[in-house]
Structure 1
Amino acid sequence: MFSRNTIARFQNTETPFYYYDLNLLNETLSSCKKASDQYGFHVHYALKANFNQEVLKAIEKVGFGADCVSGNEVKKAIEIGFDPGKVVFAGVGKSDKEIISALNNDIFCFNVESVQELGIINELAAGLGKSARVAIRINPNVDAHTHKYITTGLEENKFGINQWELNSCVEELKKCQNLELIGIHFHVGSQITNLEVFRSLCLKVNELSAWFEDHGFNLQILNVGGGLGVDYQNPDEHPITDFEAYFSIFDKFLERRPGQEVHFELGRALVAQCGSLISRILYVKNGLKKNFLILDAGMTELMRPALYQAYHKIENISSDSGQTVKYDVVGPICESTDCFGKEIELPDSKRGDLIAIRTAGAYGEVMSSGYNLRERVQSVYSE
């Protein structure tokens, strides 16, 4: 992954920092676009995965739209240069201020997550003399078979409108003169590696699309969300996700009318592998039963292991020792959960060695915090 020149460059850079391989990012974007274009599919990038300026510029340049879950994400996307006509705004708790700002920016669509939200957007749009395009986010009750904290498509999740609410939804839409229903929207979870989950989603989308047509709605958009996973265990063996296999599932099983568009909201699959968190060993603690590597990066820089017990491959990229030792790799934060991995087999390590925590381009930098009054770390890019 890292050349000798790159590691030498790291040695002269203050740690910790996020490193982005923009060449790999561009290869990934190109692969995704080629695969999606083959089927005429539309991709929106989920900004919540990573809103680093240079990363966003690369994604906008390839022509993808933007999937946003806050008013500031909408603002950021438009500032970067994303076409407002390709910006969608989702989220269970859109504030009036955020909705008004999005309406004033004439975004493409609101993904609506409750019956009450329909009335609120209609009222705010009427006050501005505007009409808002909306898609109904429906909870399909499809199990994504992923971590319980990142599943979003079950009835006990807070997201979306449940199927038993659809009649109420239709009644509300009939009363909302300033709304235009253009589609239905789904998202079942994140880090999904079993493509059969997406097949199950297609069958549910087919059923619900037919339901809306039976109730007099001509849907222009079928938005199937995202959730496609990446290989955290073997980032060098599988640096780019198999987008062809992913999109072909939807082409095969999703029923579409002529002219009906299929939209996707991909985040992790586009940016995860291009990013690494680079850190230095501050201290090595050798115990009777445990050995610890204490890094200068912690859960304030990469929250996922503490929050989800998520796995990230950890590498000592500056040691040439032929001996290996098992370490618990931890950070400096005053919390016991500040741990990147337990019993990780690494070369015999010493103070000052560089540690790379891989596949950190998604939900890494964006989830960083100033806890313990930590400074926000810099980003470094491939040359």
Structure 2
Amino acid sequence: MFPVDKFQDTRTPFYYYDTQLLRETLKTINEESGKHANYHVHYAVKANANQKILHIISQYGLGADCVSGGEIKAALEAGFPVDSIVYAGVGKSDWEIELGLQNDIACFNVESIAELEVINDLAQKHGKKARVAFRINPNIGAHTHANITTGLAENKFGIAMQDMDKVIDEAQTMANVEVIGLHFHIGSQILDMGDFKALCNRINDLQSQLAKRNVFVQNINVGGGLGVSYDNPDREPIPDFKDYFNTYATHLRLRNDQQLHFELGRSVVAQCGSLITRLLYVKQGSYKQFAIVDAGMTDLIRPALYQALHKIQNISSDEPNETYDVVGPICESSDVFAKAIDLNRCHRGDLLAIRSAGAYGEIMASGYNCRPLPEGYISEEFR
């Protein structure tokens, strides 16, 4: 699976992306979403903005879900059609809004009345009419880590359900905005389809509430959130997109001609990416042994930030297993990738692959401890 011999002369740590798997994943997304004529998939750029990855994704006809002006620029540079770019985020700066207006992006997902007012003012300044969708906080808890739950009333995201009518009324008084939809997102790394079913039921209720006021929106955006198998990336390299899309087809009651939008990130790119790191030392402790590698939390922060678990493999060794804590060189106690895991016996210079790292890996890397950012390579570069 990994061209280990060709990795030897490459400076570690680095990200390696299996583009064959990425293309198979994108093909599956198109096949399963394509069974529903009114389904539209946008890629959540925040998951991975490597230009080589973005370019491949854009070739498969996905739109782009952006949460910053920088991501809008990255999407445009990668070839995503401007009329498929949506822009979300709780804190949009003026220059970012103006960038979206100047490029005539498809939609701004608005998270407050204050933001709506600024968008209207800036649209008027530029002689534009901004298309907006209101991000409604559905107050639904997802079965995922607390730090990546976004749909509860206590979270900073979205407009409270009880304020939905008020914000729609406010928008109708504004000359430079056009309300085209409702937007939702309840969290990330969700594997329980019951969470998405609960969202469908909440949207059905809200749509019925709007219907009583004769309010119709042409787009419903349900965000993303579909998780991946971090435990068994080889057994489950492609998430169950069929079940995911069918959950919405079964439980969400769309109006005639309504379009349904998705914003998938992790499920598109996580499994195709691995962080390749070199073993520096095997350190014998009093009660355990440490495999000290040259990658750290600066390169992959998920284990430190979310207590995330990634499958780790020694791709240089086929010797019998031993038990290790895999740790990095950063001067922080939280710089730990895994504790008490079995790896093929480790030696200085071995290469380890930290799997399922294509999402929220390279994109979240930092220069803490004055470390260089890791490079990201696609599999074609090692042929």
Sort the TM-score into its range (normalised by shorter chain). Answer: over 0.9
- Where does 1:63-82 land on structure 2 (aligned, <5 Å)? 63-82=61-80
1:326-346 CA distance string (max 9 Å, x none): 111000111111000011111
* CA distance, structure 1, for counterparts of residue 85 and residue 207 of structure 2: 22
- Where does 1:58-137 land on structure 2 (aligned, <5 Å)? 58-137=56-135
Tell me the equivalent position of 1:234.
232
Tell me the equivalent position of 1:10.
7
Describe the SS at the equivalent of 1:38: coil
Describe the SS at the equivalent of 1:27: helix
Which amino acid is the alignment partner of residue 345 of structure 1? D
Describe the SS at the equivalent of 2:182: strand
* CA distance, structure 2, for counterparts of residue 159 and residue 372 of structure 1: 32
Aligned 8 A contact 1:295 1:329 in 2: yes
Shift of 1:258: 1.9
1:48-106 CA distance string (max 9 Å, x none): 00001111011100000000000110111112111110000000000111101110000
Tell me the equivalent position of 1:355.
352
Q: Please say which of residues 290-299 and 171-180 is displaced more in the overlay.
A: 171-180
Aligned 8 A contact 1:136 1:184 in 2: yes
* CA distance, structure 1, for counterparts of residue 266 and residue 28 of structure 2: 14
* CA distance, structure 2, for counterparts of residue 74 and residue 377 of structure 1: 23
* CA distance, structure 1, for counterparts of residue 207 and residue 367 of structure 2: 45
Tell me the equivalent position of 1:36.
33
Q: Please say which of residues 114-123 and 187-196 is displaced more in the overlay.
A: 114-123
- Where does 1:100-249 land on structure 2 (aligned, <5 Å)? 100-249=98-247
* CA distance, structure 2, for counterparts of residue 213 and residue 97 of structure 1: 36
Which amino acid is the alignment partner of residue 164 of structure 2? L
1:301-333 CA distance string (max 9 Å, x none): 0000000000000111111212x2211100011
Shift of 1:218: 2.1
* CA distance, structure 1, for counterparts of residue 173 and residue 55 of structure 2: 40
* CA distance, structure 1, for counterparts of residue 214 and residue 118 of structure 2: 23
* CA distance, structure 1, for counterparts of residue 285 and residue 331 of structure 2: 20
Question: Alignment partner for residue 340 of structure 2, among 331, 334, 343?
Answer: 343
* CA distance, structure 1, for counterparts of residue 18 and residue 262 of structure 2: 24
Aligned 8 A contact 1:115 1:168 in 2: no
- Where does 1:356-375 land on structure 2 (aligned, <5 Å)? 356-375=353-372
Which amino acid is the alignment partner of residue 108 of structure 1? A
Aligned 8 A contact 1:140 1:204 in 2: yes
* CA distance, structure 1, for counterparts of residue 79 and residue 210 of structure 2: 34
* CA distance, structure 1, for counterparts of residue 360 and residue 246 of structure 2: 27
Tell me the equivalent position of 1:379.
376
1:270-320 CA distance string (max 9 Å, x none): 000000000010011012202111101000100000000000001111112
Q: Work out the number of aligned pairs and report it.
A: 379
Tell me the equivalent position of 2:306.
308
* CA distance, structure 1, for counterparts of residue 363 and residue 113 of structure 2: 30
The runs of at least 4 consecutive aligned structure 1 residues that moved more than 6 Å come to none
Tell me the equivalent position of 2:264.
266
Aligned 8 A contact 1:184 1:209 in 2: no
1:169-194 CA distance string (max 9 Å, x none): 12311221111100000000000000
* CA distance, structure 1, for counterparts of residue 60 and residue 313 of structure 2: 32
Shift of 1:120: 1.0
* CA distance, structure 2, for counterparts of residue 262 and residue 336 of structure 1: 44
1:141-188 CA distance string (max 9 Å, x none): 111111000000000000000012123212311221111100000000
* CA distance, structure 2, for counterparts of residue 364 and residue 308 of structure 1: 12
* CA distance, structure 1, for counterparts of residue 214 and residue 104 of structure 2: 26
1:6-38 CA distance string (max 9 Å, x none): 111112322111000000000000001110011
Which amino acid is the alignment partner of residue 232 of structure 1? Y
Aligned 8 A contact 2:51 2:74 in 1: no
Q: Percent identity?
A: 57
* CA distance, structure 1, for counterparts of residue 379 and residue 97 of structure 2: 37
Aligned 8 A contact 1:298 1:330 in 2: yes
Matched, 1:26 2:30: no
* CA distance, structure 2, for counterparts of residue 256 and residue 275 of structure 1: 35
Aligned 8 A contact 1:327 1:345 in 2: yes
Describe the SS at the equivalent of 1:289: coil
Aligned 8 A contact 1:144 1:192 in 2: yes
Tell me the equivalent position of 1:287.
285
Which amino acid is the alignment partner of residue 61 of structure 1? Q
Question: Alignment partner for residue 275 of structure 1, among 265, 273, 276?
Answer: 273
Q: CA RMSD in A?
A: 0.9
